[in-house]
Amino acid sequence: MKNLIPLLLLLVACNASKQQINVSQSDLAITNITLIDGTGSEAQENMTIFIKDGRILNIGRSEDIKADSIIDGSGKYLIPGLFESHFHFPHERKRDLRQLIHFGVTSVFNTGSSHTSYDMMKELIRLEQTDSIVSPHIFYTSYYVTIPGAQTAKNIASDTGILTGNIKIKEDSNIYLIKSEDDIPDFVSEAKNGGASAMKLTIEDGPAPPIVDRISQEYVDRIVDEAHKQNLKVFAHISDTVELKMGLLAGVDGFVHSITSKDWWGASHQGLVKQMVADSIPMVTTNMIIKSGFYPFNPQWRKSEEWQVYEEDQITDIEEFEPVFKKSVEPMLKHYLGLKDFNIKQLKPYMENFKRLKDLGVLVVAGSDVGALAYILPGHSLHEELQLLQLGGMQPTEIIQCATLNAAKMLEVDADYGSIEKGKVADMILLDKNPLEDISNTLSINTVFKRGKKQPRIKISKK
Predicted confidence at residue 207, as pLDDT, reads 60
Instruction: Name which of 194, 185, 200 is nearest 230 in CA terms.
Output: 185
Residue 229 CB contacts under 8 Å (≥ 6 apart), including other chains:
none
User: For the purposes of burial, counting CB atoms within 10 Å of the CB of 124, is it exposed (0-12), middle (13-18) or buried (19 or more)?
Assistant: buried
Inter-residue contact 281 to 364 (CB < 8 Å) = no
Burial class of residue 290 in the structure, from the number of CB atoms within 10 Å of its CB (0-12 exposed, 13-18 middle, 19+ buried): buried
For the chain, the structural domain boundaries read 82-418
d(CA 19, CA 420): 21
Task: Give the pLDDT of residue 209.
Answer: 53
- Would you write out the chain's pLDDT as a tens digit for each of its 463 residues? 445 444 444 444 444 334 444 445 799 999 999 999 999 999 999 999 999 999 999 999 877 788 899 999 999 999 999 999 999 987 688 999 999 999 999 999 999 877 788 999 999 999 999 999 999 999 999 999 988 876 665 554 444 444 433 434 444 468 898 999 999 999 999 999 999 999 999 998 766 555 667 899 999 999 999 999 999 999 999 988 889 999 999 999 999 998 866 655 555 678 899 999 999 999 999 999 999 999 999 999 998 999 999 999 889 888 888 888 888 888 878 777 778 889 999 999 889 989 999 999 999 999 999 988 889 999 999 999 999 999 999 999 999 999 999 999 999 999 999 999 999 999 999 999 999 999 999 999 999 999 999 999 999 865 4
How many whole angstroms separate alpha carbon 375 and alpha carbon 381? 8
Helices (H), 21-77: none
**Spatial CA neighbour of 332 closest among 292, 368, 372:** 292
164 neighbors 156 (Cβ within 8 angstroms) = no
Query: Quick one: pLDDT at residue 18?
Result: 41
Q: Cα–Cα distance between 267 and 247 in angstroms, integer?
A: 19
| pLDDT score recorded for residue 206 | 65
Tell me if the domain spanning 82-418 has CATH number 3.20.20.140. Answer: yes
Helix (H) or strand (E) holding 400: helix 396-402
Per-residue model confidence (pLDDT) at position 408 = 98
Q: Give the pairing type, strands 428-431 and 77-80.
A: antiparallel
DSSP string, 379-390: THHHHHHHHHHH
Residues with Cβ within 8 Å of 250's Cβ and at least 6 positions away in sequence, in order, are 217, 220, 221, 223, 224, 234
Q: State whether residue 86 is helix, strand or coil.
A: strand
pLDDT at 19: 40
Closest CA to 214 of 178, 181, 190, 250: 178
Say how far residue 312 (Cα) sits from the centre of its chain: 25
